[in-house]
Structure 1
Amino acid sequence: MFRKKNNTQESEEHHHESKVKELKAAIGPLYGRSLQYCSDACLKRYLEARNWNVDKAKKMLEETLKWRSTYRPEEIRWNEIAVEGETGKLFRAGFHDRHGRTVLILRPGMQNTASIDNQMRHLVYLIENAILNLPEGQEQMAWLIDFTGWSLSTSVPIRSARETINILQNHYPERLAIAFLYNPPRIFEAFWKVVKYFLDAKTFQKVKFVYPKNKDSVEVMSSYFDEENLPTEFGGKATLHYDHEEFSKLMIQDDSKSATLWGFDDKLQRVGNGHSGAEVAPEPAS
């Protein structure tokens, strides 16, 4: 039985490798940053996102390469979008999940700006930074979303939510492993009923609602995080402390790492610019 399973795994790996080669040939010659971006691991993510359909993966990847050539996410620098991070509405956590994934903490109730374009640049910057800080052998990140202070009047516009999902799904496929929505208020249901239709099936399965009084949802979260690392805002024992000045120093250091990775002089950069899916899950009665 073990031999049979092993042979099946080997056959699947061989199939995936052949698909990567097929996609590589379909794309044709690449140069510069596009060549650097399109590693075998990258091609696998696009194939995975499109159920190993080469034509669909090729179309998706080409759209991303076009987006990256104009948006230039690897060139965004912290000093361009630092104002977006002043309240700590989105930042990279100082801990990983049980699988070594980078963790991004989102606190939508702490929104502090009005420009959706700048908010999206801030999001893209932090996604790129999360990827930059992934340990070797790990390619995905986890999101923890804290709804403290959230209300319909202070929530992000639907356009912003849709653009966030578009960027994540279409230009960073298979980068999100899990997203925990922790203790959203009942009123969030109205917002979720609209937003969920922007999610594809794969992303939908990765979104989990967690309520402190719901044992099953808490256990799902515990399977991903050690409570000693998890902040109290998410049911853990750690203290969540965001220091904008210290985080800025960290990001500036990472900007240099990113410049080295992509092969350009940072000084020349411009300055100034397995569980069930998340169907609507209302909070259980106490």
Structure 2
Amino acid sequence: MSETSGITAGAPEPTPTVSAPAAAPAAAPVPTEAPSEGLTNMSISDTAPPAPQPGGTPAVDTPTPTTEPTPAPKPASETAAPSAAPAADAVATPTKPILATTPASGKAAPAATSTAQPDSKEEVEPQNALTGKFTPAEWKALKEFRDKIPAIVTDAYSDSPADKKPTTLDLWGVPIHPDVKDARTSVILMKFLRARNLNPTSAGEMLTATIRWRAIFKVDEAVKEEFPEKVFGSLAHISGVDREGRPVVYNLYGANKDLQAVFGDVQRFLRWRVKLMEECVTRLDFSTVDQMVQVHDYAGVSMRDRDANSKNAASEATSIFQNHYPEFLSRKFFINVPSLLSWIFWLFKSLVAARTFAKMSVVGSGHHEIKKALSEVIDENQIPKRYGGLADGF
């Protein structure tokens, strides 16, 4: 009998009065079909035997009627009587169905018992408002990237003394490790992935460089460092939030005309600027908010105000924020921009990634024009009065 053949119901055995006795014919084989794709990995017990078809009972000689007619066989749906067995194996228990056997062992296979193992459930990812916006492609890249973290940390600290190599890593107060289940970790790692077009290898290189830079620059020490208020105090302010709760930082490039005091020590300027950036990052919870809005005010700035040190400082600061603070910018407004600087800005467009340039807006001068531009993302009561809003500001 075939492994997949069904049990034929119903026909009675011939009586000894048949004129030409012969062995009962074997059950008709079930036609073989190519298995469907979904069954290729299932055992024989995964599939119930096919139900007998009308007319599928093997032909047998009809016995000569006696005083009482032989009752007609019941339909297959009303009886589970087994079919006639071959003469050589004619020992059957009529009250139990004959079980299908495997050719190798001849033992009865458990009926209707599935051997297919259930698919193991994927580990549930911790979620927050920001991870809920990740696309399937981003999740796929993130899982691959996360598996690389131990090797990335090892590589980043490969030149450090053995007793100073950290076993864990924190960035902006968030643990970075594949074994730590924190949705904020996913948010930070996604920043590096998005900055590198979801390429886990490139994102890993960026993260490695960031870890090394933070150690060399001594960011944690810069955050605690005190800078002269009279030099830097008027240059930047964190004031208010946009409609999504993102902090808004204002940089006033013309607030201090003493360029030597501001840019004479480029490294000191950079350390002050990094401290300001880190203070902005502390306003982010990485659960609902992970970006900021920047407003660059060029009031009082002219081309004559740009000396070699200021150009060098601006170039280095741009490199730091581009390479080590990925995807922290939601929008950037350039306000009170002189006509000449505005023209240079549009030339600069070809050097900036389209995705980054789309976040930038160049605005002229005057309360009405500035307020109109800032109101795209900031409520009036969060805009400082000096820019046409209602907030006290700075």
* TM-score after normalising by structure 1: 0.70
Tell me the matched-pair count. 232
Question: Which of the numbers 19, 25, 33 marks the counterpart of 2:147?
Answer: 25
Deviation at 1:107, TM superposition (A): 0.3
Question: 127, 134, 138: which is aligned to 2:277?
Answer: 127
Cα pair 1:212 1:235 within 8 Å, conserved: no
Q: Deviations over 1:2-46 (max 9, x none)?
A: xxxxxxx99963332221121122343447486222322211001
Does residue 1:146 correspond to 2:297, yes or no? yes
| Residue equivalent to 2:251 | 106
C-alpha distance in structure 2 between counterparts of 1:195 and 1:21, whole Å: 36
RMSD, aligned α-carbons: 3.0
Q: How does 1:238-249 map to 2 (within 5 A)?
A: 238-241=391-394
- Report the counterpart of residue 35 of structure 1 in structure 2: 169
**Does the CA-based 8 Å contact 1:97-1:226 persist in structure 2?**
yes
Deviation, structure 1 residue 91: 2.5
Note closer, same or farther for the CA distance 1:155–1:234 as it changes in structure 2 (3 Å cut): farther
Alignment match, 1:170: 323
| Aligned pair partner of 1:227 in 380, 388, 394 | 380
Match status 1:53 vs 2:204: no
2:274 aligned partner, one-letter code = V
Q: Given residue 254 of structure 2, which amino acid in structure 1 is its aligned partner?
A: G
Q: Check conservation: 2:249, 2:294, Cα contact below 8 A.
A: yes
- Residue type at the aligned position of 1:42: I
- 5 Å matches for 1:5-16? 13-16=135-138
Deviation at 1:193, TM superposition (A): 5.8
Displacement of 1:182? 1.1
Contact 1:209 1:217 in 2 (8 A): no
Once the two structures are TM-superposed, the CA of residue 99 in structure 1 deviates from its matched residue by 1.0
In structure 2, C-alpha distance between the alignment counterparts of 1:79 and 1:214, rounded to whole Å: 36
Tell me how far apart the structure 2 counterparts of residues 181 and 11 of structure 1 sit (CA, whole Å).
29
Distance (whole Å) between structure 2 residues aligned to residue 201 and residue 148 of structure 1: 27
The question of whether the paired residues in 1 share the 8 Å contact of 2:333 and 2:362 is answered with yes
Cα offset, 1:218, TM superposition: 5.6
Alpha-carbon offset, residue 216 of structure 1: 8.7
- Cα–Cα, structure 1 residues 168 and 26, in superposed 2: closer, same or farther, change >3 Å? same
Q: 1:240-283: CA deviations, max 9, x gaps? A: 32xxxxxxxxxxxxxxxxxxxxxxxxxxxxxxxxxxxxxxxxxx
1:125 and 1:99, CA in 2 relative to 1: closer, same or farther beyond 3 A? same
**Aligned partner of residue 377 in structure 2, secondary structure:** coil
Distance 1:119 1:216 in 2: 31
SS in 2 for 1:109: coil
Question: Do 1:144 and 1:182's aligned partners in 2 also have CA atoms closer than 8 Å?
Answer: yes
Q: What do the CA deviations read for 1:116-168 (whole angstroms, capped 9, x no partner)?
A: 21111111111111111224410001111112211122247332222222111
SS in 1 for 2:188: helix
Instruction: Measure, in 1, the Cα distance between the counterparts of 2:250 and 2:369.
Output: 22
**CA apart distance, 1:54:** 1.4
Give TM-score scaled by structure 2 length: 0.52
The one-letter amino acid paired with 1:98 is R
- Structure showing the higher helix proportion among its residues: 1
Q: What is the CA–CA distance in structure 2 between the aligned matches of 1:17 and 1:119, rounded to whole Å?
A: 38
DSSP 3-state at the match of 1:174: coil
Asked if structure 1 preserves the Cα contact closer than 8 Å seen for 2:342 and 2:362, the reply is no
Listed one character per residue, the Cα deviations across residues 58-100 of structure 1 (whole Å, up to 9, x for unaligned) are: 111111111112112133235432447644101222x111110
Contact 2:242 2:377 in 1 (8 A): yes
Taking the aligned partners of 2:222 and 2:279, their CA distance within structure 1 comes to 10
Counterpart Cα distance in 2 of 1:22 and 1:96: 34
User: Does the C-alpha gap of structure 1 residues 173 and 12 become closer, same or farther in structure 2, counting only changes over 3 Å?
Assistant: closer
For 2:336, the equivalent position in structure 1 comes to: 183
Q: Distance in 2 between matches of 1:145 and 1:33?
A: 40
2:247/2:280 contact within 8 Å kept: yes
